[in-house]
Chain A
């Protein structure tokens, strides 16, 4: 149970970090680095969420006998 709440905080953390980094890079004049940081953050979050969804779909498949 505890591990599930961590994922939500991690994703929110990545989101906030990315937006802060974007504003900093914008002031430093490196707008394109900001885009790359956004993509990296999104990719990391997608990896976590896709693992979670794979786990969910496997369990649903086993519970509801959906083959």
Chain B
């Protein structure tokens, strides 16, 4: 049922954006930002419950929270960066969009480094 609401909301927002874009291109960008944010807010509750289930399973499987937390952070960073860079690209600012994506990649690398180190250490322990 939710998908109908989301598609309806997206279509009305798109039509309104096209109407507003002819006279006020700047307001059209703001309108697309608002539409994107609203659609994601609708889905955020479901993402939260999925993450709860994943956390529950990982605790039962004995996986330490550190790894899951890092994965969640990386997914969050990736999503927000994609949200921002896509809107910048729609507004015609490809350069700003690629800068946002570059910064997000750096942040994700920063988060991933400790896990890579842990994996390498456990690997070395196995070999020697």
Contacts and interface: CB of A to CB of B under 8 A. Distances in A.
B57 interface: no
B20 A1 contact: no
B19 interface: yes
Interface residues of B, number: 34
A1 B2 CA distance: 10
B35 interface: yes
Report whether over half of chain A's contact residues are helix, strand or loop; otherwise say mixed: helix
Interface of B: 5, 9, 12-13, 16, 19-20, 23-24, 26-28, 30-31, 33-35, 37-38, 40-42, 44, 47-48, 51, 69, 72-73, 75-77, 79-80
A52 B34 contact: yes
Given A5-B9, A16-B20, A55-B41, A65 B33 contact: no
Interface residues of A, number: 33
B76 A8 contact: no
Contact of A46 (B24, B30, B37): B30
Contacts, number: 97
Nearest to A38: B24
Interface of A: 1, 4-5, 7-9, 11-12, 14-16, 18-19, 22, 38, 41-42, 45-46, 48-49, 52-53, 55-57, 59-61, 63-66
